[in-house]
Amino acid sequence: MTQTTNLGATIDTRQPGGQIAFIAPREGEAVQEITFGELGARADAIGRALLARGYRTGERVAILGRNSIDYVASLLGILRAGLVAVPINFKFPVETLDNILRDSGARLLLGDGDQLSRPQNDLPRVVFNSPAADGLAAFMDPGELSPFAAGPDALALLLYTSGSTGMPKGVRLTHASHAWVVRTRLENHELEGERVLIAAPLYHMNALALALLTLASHVATVLLPQFNARDYINAITRYRCSWLTAVPPMIAMMLREKALLAQSDLTCVRVVRMGSAPVTDSLFQQIGQLLPKARIINAYGTTEGGPVVFAPHPDGIPTPRLAAGAAHPQVSLRLRDPAGHEAARGILELKSPGLMQGYHQRPDLRPPFTDDGYYITGDVFERDHQGFYTFIGRLDDMFVSGAENIYPSEVEHLIERHPAVQQACVVPVADEIKGTKPVAFVILRPGRQASAGELKAFTLSHGAAYLHPRHIWLVDGFPLAGTNKIDRRALLLEAGRRIHQDSASPQANPGAQHGI
């Protein structure tokens, strides 16, 4: 990556511009490809068009659409012109989309035609992949553009986190912070010689940071519009993808495609970077069966703090299987217990050049920074005697059952030790005696059988009594949020519905109920 203060100029111009940057297969359409040189020219043309139409430095331009080459080019063009990109989760309801567009102060909306029709406002729109007068091709102004010279505090991105309730928070990220992220990851040569597959949404930090890294690393990336298990497997096979990023539900859905997997050659996969959720022993085993030659990276990061947090141990000590790693040499970490004292188990606080500026227009929220500049993640970790950090759970997810603090991940790991279980998700429900109690939704491994009663007995015999789920429902799949993570809020509502149904019908057999 050339040294620059503009995050949109991540393409290394010292490398051959004729090499393929992105391959974008879309169902029912011809596969699109673009070289690094063509992508840079398209980004310049979009940036020039924005400036020619009077948009000024610092103004917001929103993007609403599925992953595409036009999406990547638009993001780069917005940044090169000195404007602020606002990638938005297209799975948000219309009311939330309108609130975000209003809150961000967006002046222009770019994206897919079917998505641009949803917001209820009069913002001008530019349509991706369209030959019409309002299409991106007609909008562009071909020619070279000198990227805006961003200062240390110049805003580049406004990412709205999904959240579980209320208005999503706008996270303010600067050119400097995420140019540092790209440079720091580039120094590790983690993508050297790889072919990357991205199916996670570009409005989320996981995929967005990876796309910028692939550009700086000058490697080819296969970009799917969104995740679909069959398309994902086919893309690995057809394009010989070697480096994947995934979350646990994606692996679970791939494992269900037994017939397709039986005829697919996935031996090309060398690395699987698991993000957005912790890797369990059960998941390690399943990935090992699915992708036997792959190295698994148990990654951690946040929108607010970026993806550079942990690293291999400085003394070369192997990272324990479930640990996220040791502190990255350029990141300062500490754990604080509920009393605010540093401890071996507590809330992770971090300080690095990759931190956000803060939340956009949210005086109602307490700033998540300590007086000495650490970001308070809200994630609970344990640090062992060798300095390795292991994720325990979100502080917000913790609940108290009969005076015992319970993290859903503790119960999930316990259930997933059963050989028939593929994945478990635990949520708390109200209880007259305990206050709250854990209940679980469970997906079984393909071809395996177990009853709810058997799984409950297993947890009682292998873990503390207070951890055992009071209800277990066997399901075929979990509802997913827009980031492909499990939608725990939807499961919490479903648990309440099922408990009410069971209490109204005492003969019901909850272990036999499938689907959500």
Helix or strand or coil: residue 411?
Answer: helix
Cα separation, 514 vs 441, in Å, equals 10
pLDDT at 446: 85
CA angle 461, 465, 468 (to 5 degrees): 80
What are the backbone angles phi and psi of residue 311, rounded to the nearest 5°? -155, 170
What are the backbone angles phi and psi of residue 108, rounded to the nearest 5°? -150, 150
Segments making up each domain of the chain, as ranges: 7-173, 329-396, 398-512
Confidence of residue 164 (pLDDT cuts 50, 70, 90): very low
Q: Per-residue pLDDT averaged across 292-299, rounded?
A: 90
pLDDT at 229: 93
Q: Per-residue pLDDT averaged across 144-168, rounded?
A: 87
Going 269 to 275 to 280 to 282, the CA torsion angle's sign is negative
Task: Sort 480 into a burial class: Cβ within 10 Å, 0-12 / 13-18 / 19+.
Answer: middle
Per-residue pLDDT at 496 exceeds 70: yes
Task: Give 246-260 pLDDT, tens digit per residue.
Answer: 887 788 888 889 899
Q: Per-residue pLDDT averaged across 377-388, rounded?
A: 95
More confident residue, 165 or 411: 411
Residue 438 CB coordination number (10 Å): 29
Per-residue pLDDT at 317 exceeds 80: yes
Q: Contact 470/439 with Cβ under 8 angstroms? A: yes
Task: Give 271-284 pLDDT, tens digit per residue.
Answer: 999 876 667 777 88
Task: Give 35-72 pLDDT, tens digit per residue.
Answer: 999 999 999 999 999 999 999 999 999 999 999 999 99
pLDDT at 399: 86
State percent of the chain over pLDDT 90.
Answer: 69
Beta bridge partners of 23: 33, 222
CA dihedral 235, 237, 242, 243 (to 10 degrees): 30
Pairing of strands 221-223, 20-24: parallel
| CATH fit for domain 7-173, picks 3.40.50.980, 3.30.70.380, 3.30.70.100, 3.40.640.10 | 3.40.50.980
Task: Give 456-476 pLDDT, tens digit per residue.
Answer: 999 998 888 888 999 999 999
Helix or strand or coil: residue 348?
Answer: strand
According to CATH, the topology of domain 398-512 is: GMP Synthetase; Chain A, domain 3 (3.30.300)
- Report which listed range, 235-239, 256-260, 406-410, is most confident: 235-239
Cα separation, 75 vs 86, in Å, equals 9
Do you know the residue count of the chain? 516
Task: Give 418-436 pLDDT, tens digit per residue.
Answer: 999 989 999 998 887 777 8
CA dihedral 213, 215, 218, 221 (to 10 degrees): 90
Secondary structure (DSSP) of 176-195: HHHHHHHHHHHTTTTTTT--
Average pLDDT value for the chain: 90
pLDDT at 507: 53
pTM: 0.85
CA 282 to chain centre: 21
The DSSP letter of residue 466 is: G
Task: Give 505-515 pLDDT, tens digit per residue.
Answer: 655 444 444 44
In the block, residue with structure tokens 């659409």 = 65
CA 376 to chain centre: 19
CA distances to 72, 190, 205 from 112, in Å: 13, 32, 20
Per-residue pLDDT at 152 exceeds 90: yes
129 in the Ramachandran plot: left (φ > 0), alpha (ψ -120 to 50) or beta? left
Task: Give 199-221 pLDDT, tens digit per residue.
Answer: 999 999 989 999 999 999 999 99
Strands (E), 191-262: 196-198, 221-223, 243-246
Domain over 329-396 is classified CATH 2.30.38.10: yes
Per-residue pLDDT at 354 exceeds 90: yes
| 56-79 CB burial, b ≥16 within 10 A, e <16 | eeebbbbbbbbbbbbbbbbbbbbb
In the block, residue with structure tokens 């993000």 = 275
Task: Give 176-200 pLDDT, tens digit per residue.
Answer: 999 999 999 999 999 999 999 999 9
- Report which listed range, 77-81, 296-300, 434-438, is most confident: 77-81
pLDDT at 4: 54
Confidence of residue 15 (pLDDT cuts 50, 70, 90): confident
Cα separation, 314 vs 18, in Å, equals 38
Q: Per-residue pLDDT averaged across 219-240, rounded?
A: 96
Cα separation, 233 vs 211, in Å, equals 20
Cα separation, 286 vs 303, in Å, equals 28
Q: Contact 310/325 with Cβ under 8 angstroms? A: yes
Helix or strand or coil: residue 420?
Answer: coil
